[in-house]
């Protein structure tokens, strides 16, 4: 496997994270606060982090996109919000060549913090069912 594969496995273990490896070079982390699953993929010289934050709402998209752009500009240290299909995601990419444990852990911590701290600002955009619940 590409350079860094064993390092990533060691980093995950050092952080004491629960993970599955559905295929070589892809790790699915579970058990993080507020996150169903964080997917990490080794893709050539880049390590890609991705987490689904919410489904794309049918209404108020312009306000949601403005909020996401504001969060990207002011509060996202690692990664950024984006749209992938019908989902709002946070993604980050790190060069594997000189990746160290602190940088790896900081990306995971910042993504986890963003999901937790932005939750109330973003869930107000979710579609409501007929009872008024999200």
Q: Is residue 130 part of a domain?
A: no
In the block, residue with structure tokens 């594997």: 96
Q: CB neighbours (10 Å) of residue 116? A: 13
Give the DSSP letter string of 29-80: EE--TT-S-EEEEEETTEEEEEEEEEEPPSS-HHHHHHHHHHHHHHT-SS-E
pLDDT per residue as tens, the chain (134 positions): 445 889 999 999 999 999 999 999 999 999 898 898 999 999 989 999 999 999 999 999 999 999 999 999 999 988 999 999 999 999 999 999 989 999 999 999 999 999 999 999 999 998 764 444 54
User: What was the pLDDT predicted at 3?
Assistant: 54
Residue 48 maps to which CATH number?
3.30.1460.10
Tell me what pLDDT residue 34 has. Answer: 83
Q: Is residue 31 part of a domain?
A: yes
pLDDT at residue 130 in the model: 43
Q: What are the tokens at 63? A: 């306000």
The pTM is what?
0.88
**Could you tell me the residue range of the domain that residue 25 belongs to?**
5-123
Side-chain half-sphere CA neighbours of 97 within 13 A = 2
The answer to whether residue 134 is domain-embedded is no
Q: Is residue 129 part of a domain?
A: no
Distance in angstroms (rounded) separating the CA atoms of residues 24 and 36: 21
Evaluate whether residue 128 is within a structural domain. Answer: no
The pLDDT value recorded for residue 128 is: 63
Domain count within the chain? 1
Burial 49-75 (b: 16+ CB within 10 A, else e): bbbbbbeebeeeeeebeebbeebeeee
In a domain, 132, yes or no: no
Domain presence at residue 133: no
């Amino acid at each position: 496997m590409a350079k860094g594969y064993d390092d990533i496995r060691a980093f995950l273990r050092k952080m004491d994270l629960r993970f599955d490896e559905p295929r070589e070079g892809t790790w699915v982390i579970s058990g993080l606060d507020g996150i169903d699953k964080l997917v990490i993929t080794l893709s050539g010289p880049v390590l890609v982090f991705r987490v689904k934050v919410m489904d794309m709402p049918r209404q108020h998209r312009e306000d949601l996109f403005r909020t996401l752009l504001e969060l990207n500009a002011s509060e996202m240290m690692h990664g950024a919000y984006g749209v992938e299909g019908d989902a709002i995601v946070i993604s980050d990419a790190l060069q594997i060549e000189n990746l160290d444990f602190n940088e790896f852990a900081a990306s995971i911590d910042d993504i986890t913090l963003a999901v937790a701290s932005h939750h109330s600002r973003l869930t107000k955009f979710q579609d409501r069912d007929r009872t008024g619940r999200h």
